[in-house]
């Protein structure tokens, strides 16, 4: 379950609840990000070969922000250079995992703000960066790239797009 609150078009609070694990992720703009009441931070992994990335594996026609070939090349690049790529099945939960350091980054295209709004705020409040695949500000078009500050530029580079 995910709930996001926006004021004036800007996210101010978000909650993601994982009923299977009984875990409540929450964030308030300027107030930090939390897992079951404990402060969380994005992982600070410096070695690319040790990072674990979450990714959406799209259905035909889902990828719109970049050519499908670029999207799948980015996944191949991750498979060749990192500890692995995972698909949890929930963008909201995957992004919350970036906020608490279980995943080092996440990307997907074809989402709605309902899929990522609450957890995107969590990553920002946990010290990470959330953008479109191009590195541009998230604007609701459906593509998202979330990662630690150190890892984000390397992930963005995989999409070969200038912001």
Q: Which domains does the chain have, with CATH numbers?
A: 41-157 (3.40.190.80)
115 known member of a binding site? yes
163 vs 161: CA distance, rounded Å: 6
124 vs 129: CA distance, rounded Å: 6
**What percentage of the chain reaches a pLDDT higher than 70?**
98
The arithmetic mean of pLDDT across residues 21-42, rounded, is 98
The arithmetic mean of pLDDT across residues 143-161, rounded, is 91
Residue pair 74/158 in contact by the 8 Å Cβ criterion: yes
State the pTM of this model.
0.93
Residue pair 113/3 in contact by the 8 Å Cβ criterion: no
Q: Above 80 in pLDDT, residue 163?
A: no
């Amino acid at each position: 379950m995910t709930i996001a609150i926006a004021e004036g078009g800007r996210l101010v609070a978000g909650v993601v609840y994982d009923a299977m694990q009984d875990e409540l992720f929450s964030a308030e703009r300027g107030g930090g990000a939390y897992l079951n009441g404990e402060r969380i931070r994005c992982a600070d992994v410096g070695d690319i070969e040790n990072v674990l990335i979450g990714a959406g594996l799209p259905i035909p026609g889902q990828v719109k922000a970049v050519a499908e070939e670029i999207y799948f090349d980015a996944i191949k690049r991750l498979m060749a250079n990192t500890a692995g790529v995972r698909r949890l099945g929930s963008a909201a939960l995957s992004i919350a995992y970036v906020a608490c350091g279980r995943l080092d980054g996440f990307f997907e295209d074809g989402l709605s703000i309902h899929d990522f709004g609450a957890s995107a705020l969590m990553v920002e409040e946990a010290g990470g960066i959330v953008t479109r695949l191009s590195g541009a500000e998230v604007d609701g078009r459906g593509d998202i790239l979330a990662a630690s500050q150190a890892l984000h530029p390397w992930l963005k580079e995989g999409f070969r797009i200038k912001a």
